Amino acid sequence: MRSHLLNDTTADSYRRSVIEGVERVAAKIAATHKPHTGISVDELAPVIAGIDLDSPLLDAAAALDELEEVYLRDAVYFHAPRYLGHLNCPVVIPAVLGEAVLSAVNSSLDTWDQSIGGTLMERRLIDWTTGRIGLGPGADGVFTSGGSQSNFHALLLARDEACRLVMKNSEFPLTKAEVLPKLRIFTSDVSHFSVKKSAAMLGLGYEAVITVPVDENKRMRTEALAHELSACEAEGLFPMAVVATAGTTDFGSIDPLPEIARLVAAHSSWMHVDAAYGCGLLASPTRRHLLDGIEHADSVTVDFHKSFFQPVSSSAVLVRDRDTLKHATYHADYLNPRRMVEERIPNQVDKSIQTTRRFDALKLWMTLRVMGADGVGGLFDEVCDLAAEGWNLIDADPRFEVVVRPQLSTLVFRYLPAGEVRADLVDEANLHARKALFASGEAVVAGTKVDGDQYLKFTLLNPQTTTADISAVLDLLAAHAEQFLGESLVHAS
Ligand SMILES: *Cc1c(COP(=O)(O)O)cnc(C)c1O
């Protein structure tokens, strides 16, 4: 069994094994044009349940053959131009190369003594990102597993900063336990659910989140925010943080960051910008201005695995004031004792809520070194351009109704039949169209609700997708919806 360990005596076996795997995936990708085969859970579950995990095949080629049946054949392929579902991007090859390197070397980025070099490279990328945001010389941050973790981490820092300030400024002694129930978080009603979930996990409860309404472009109404902030203080409560979204998951809308920054400053709160989706603009040669105002943030979430074409996971949380990261610091005797800070040993675990942590930063490093920032940002520009063209297409199509001209690369629309059709049937027709399309494997689209009505969503992150693909998918959706309505009307009569 030692022959399976990757070491100085098995380098050849490692090479053969990985190349064989790469060959299979390359062949599969080259031959795959549809997002998936359309297999159902009921068909696939027995195949996977039938694998006896206690009877190993003892051979990589045999395991790859089996993998074809249980996974590769039916997986969802995001490189397919008609995959328009969630915020999954096709990945760039330099990043996939980085992924192969990082899992073979297997550095762990918690401490310097497990990641010589990697620690400094991650720090360079954090500085590169904070530089692009404009957070200033005191900025810092750390890579995380994703936007949800980054949001949680940022709100943890905001919570503990708020507690510290409220306790310091109080005329009478207050305990943290007394302050926590008085903290409030403000975010728009189309922000990511991880904001509410973080509030609950941080011991504040869902009720601590005040949702602020949005305008017709799905951007936070700042006059409503101003009103809520004042009301909060009038009740003797504390505005712990305002979470602005730069690229909402459904609409790609960007909250008015400069106005929000002014309000946050006036109320001595903490500004967090969730740029999980919109962060691609940081590298965009033409659209960086859409993020103007982000430089005022106290903390920022970026998801490189959404708009930087990186494989999952690759995300970071950035802060304006590196001192605030101390709220997640713990000095463990065995790992990162306090003396290491004095010896200036750069242990990233001091800033992270994880301990053992992947060198995900290497993927972005390879991407920037091979393609450059303009290269990767240009790809994001292409999908934003495509979304603008797609909006025109849907807007001109009498079968569909489209909402919100896109700032980024999503399109939210619904099938709307001519004539009088009951609203619940329209909802069902749209839901049916999405499900039937998924079951066919021809294309994948997402769905969401707008003012209680069922809508469909294209998330465009693939520069290979064309307006012809968009038109074709619209035709497929309309056909499924029409068929559904036709059958419903037959049943009704
Ligand atoms: C996707 C997304 C998140 C969550 O990020 P994960 O990487 O999926 O955890 C948070 N905020 C916004 C706006 C997102 O679009």
Q: Are residues 234 and 159 in the same domain?
A: yes
Last residue of a domain, one of 354, 369, 384: 369
Neighbours of 486 (CB within 10 A): 10
Ligand 1, atom 4, lies closest to the CA of 147
Q: Which of 337, 352, 369 is the last residue of a domain?
A: 369
Pairing type for strands 444-450 and 83-84 reads parallel
Would 202 be classed as within a structural domain?
A: yes
Task: Kindly give the number of the ligand 1 atom that is closest to the alpha carbon of 313.
Answer: 7
Is residue 99 situated within a structural domain?
no
Ligand 1 centroid–CA 315 distance in Å is 10
Q: How many Å lie between the centroid of ligand 1 and the Cα of residue 92?
A: 20
Judge whether 454 lies within some domain: yes
| Ligand 1 geometric centre to CA of 165 (Å) | 29
Structure tokens at 354: 């994880």
Do 156 and 303 fall into the same domain? yes
Q: Do the strands 444-450 and 453-459 form a parallel or antiparallel pair, or are they unpaired?
A: antiparallel
Query: Which of 353, 369, 385 delimits the end of a domain?
Result: 369
Q: Give the count of domains, the chain.
A: 3
| Element spanning 241, H or E | strand 238-245
- The tokens for 271 are 């500004």
Distance 293 CA to ligand 1 centre (A): 20
Structure tokens at 471: 């038109």
Taking the centre of ligand 1 as the mean of its atom positions, its distance from the CA of residue 192, in whole angstroms, is: 7
Residues of the domain holding 466: 373-492
Distance, CA of 108 to CA of 116 (rounded, Å): 9
- Distances in whole angstroms, Cα of residue 303 to Cα of each of 81, 247, 282, 356: 22, 11, 12, 20
* Residue 7: inside a domain: yes
- Ligand 1 atom with the smallest distance to the CA of 278 is 13
Residues 414, 335 share a domain: no
DSSP assignment string, 143-182? EES-HHHHHHHHHHHHHHHHHHHHHHH-SS---HHHHGGG
The verdict on 16 and 124 lying in the same domain is no
pLDDT at 493: 63
Closest CA to 355 of 336, 371, 341: 336
CA 195 / ligand 1 centre spacing (Å): 10
- Taking alpha carbons only, the member of 263, 264, 277 closest to residue 158 is 264
Place of tokens 């941050």: 141
Residues of the chain with pLDDT under 70: 492-493
Q: Is 134 helix (H, G, I), strand (E, B) or coil?
A: coil
Ligand 1 atom with minimal separation from the 247 CA: 13
DSSP output for 2-14: GGGS-STT-HHHH
What's the full length of the chain, in residues?
493
Ligand 1 atom at minimum distance from 275 CA = 13
SS3 content of the chain, % helix, strand, coil (to 5): 50, 15, 35
397 CA from centroid of ligand 1 (Å)? 31
> Any idea what the Cα angle at residue 214 is, between residues 161 and 225, rounded to 5°?
40
Pairing status of strand 83-84 against strand 299-303: unpaired
Take residue 463 and report the two structure tokens written for it: 């520069």
Q: Is 244 left (phi over 0), alpha (psi -120 to 50) or beta?
A: beta
Please list, in sequence order, all residues whose beta carbon lies within 8 angstroms of the beta carbon of residue 212, skipping any fewer than 6 positions away. 186, 187, 188, 189, 220, 221, 224, 225, 228
Closest residue by Cα to atom 10, ligand 1, is 147
How many CA atoms lie within 13 Å of 333's alpha carbon, on the beta-carbon side? 0
Conformational region of residue 487, where left means phi above 0, alpha means psi within -120 to 50, and beta covers everything else: alpha
Question: For atom 15 of ligand 1, which residue has the closest CA?
Answer: 249
Question: Environment class of residue 130 by beta-carbon count within 10 Å: exposed (0-12), middle (13-18) or buried (19+)?
Answer: buried
**What's the order of all strands across the beta sheet hosting 183-188?**
140-144, 315-319, 299-303, 271-275, 238-245, 183-188, 209-212
Distance 150 CA to ligand 1 centre (A): 9
Taking the alpha carbons of 192, 195, 198, 199 in that order, is the dihedral positive or negative? negative
C-alpha separations of 81 from 349, 376, 486 in Å: 39, 18, 30
| Residue of the CA atom closest to atom 3 of ligand 1 | 147
- CATH assignment at residue 410: 3.90.1150.10
3 state DSSP class of 286:
coil
Q: How far is the CA of 153 from the centre of ligand 1 (A)?
A: 13
Ligand 1 atom with the smallest distance to the CA of 149 is: 9
Helix (H, G, I), strand (E, B) or coil at 256: coil
Judge whether 103 lies within some domain.
no
301 CA to centre of ligand 1 in angstroms: 9
CATH number at residue 203: 3.40.640.10
CB 299 within 8 A of CB 272: yes
Q: Please state, in angstroms and rounded to a whole number, the distance separating the CA atoms of residues 172 and 442.
A: 65
Which atom, in ligand 1's list, is nearest to the CA of 277? Answer: 15
Between β-strands 183-188 and 209-212, what pairing exists: parallel, antiparallel or unpaired? parallel
Tell me which residue has its CA closest to atom 5 in ligand 1.
Answer: 147
Ligand 1 centroid – CA 276 distance (Å): 5
Mutation test residue for ligand 1: of 155, 198, 274, the one with most atoms within 8 Å of CB? 274
Q: Which atom of ligand 1 is nearest to the CA of 191?
A: 13
Query: Among the atoms of ligand 1, which is closest to the Cα of residue 312?
Result: 7
Structure confidence at residue 490 (pLDDT): 78
**Are 359 and 382 in a shared domain?**
no
Pocket of ligand 1 from Cβ distances under 6 Å:
87, 146-148, 151, 192, 194, 245, 247-249, 274, 276-277, 303, 315
CA distance 98 to 111: 20
Task: Tell me the torsion sign for CA atoms 190, 193, 198, 203.
Answer: positive
CA 66 – ligand 1 centroid, Å: 33
The structure's pTM equals 0.97
> Can you give the CATH number for the domain in which 33 is found?
1.20.1650
The ligand 1 atom at the shortest distance from the C-alpha of residue 305 is 7
pLDDT of residue 491: 75
297 and 188 part of one domain: yes
Whether residues 458 and 377 fall in one domain: yes
Q: Are both 325 and 440 inside the same structural domain?
A: no
Identify the pLDDT of residue 271: 99
Question: How far lies 457's CA from each of 34, 407, 450, in Å?
Answer: 18, 15, 11
Cα of 219 vs centre of ligand 1, distance in Å, is 17
The answer to whether residue 455 is domain-embedded is: yes
User: Which of 145, 187, 191, 194 is the pocket-test mutation for ligand 1 (most atoms within 8 Å of CB)?
Assistant: 194
Name the closest-CA residue to atom 6, ligand 1: 147
Contact criterion met (CB below 8 Å) for 195 and 274 = yes
Q: Given the CA of residue 303, which atom of ligand 1 is nearest to it? A: 7
117, 72: one domain = no
Rg (CA), the chain: 25
Q: Does some domain include residue 82?
A: no
Whether the CB-CB separation of 295 and 261 falls below 8 Å is answered with no
Distance 146 CA to ligand 1 centre (A): 7
Co-location of 273 and 231 in the same domain: yes
Shared-domain flag, residues 187 and 204:
yes
Same structural domain, 184 and 199: yes
Question: Which amino acid, 362?
Answer: L
Classify residue 140: in a domain, yes or no: yes
Q: For residues 380 and 283, is the Cβ–Cβ distance under 8 A? A: yes
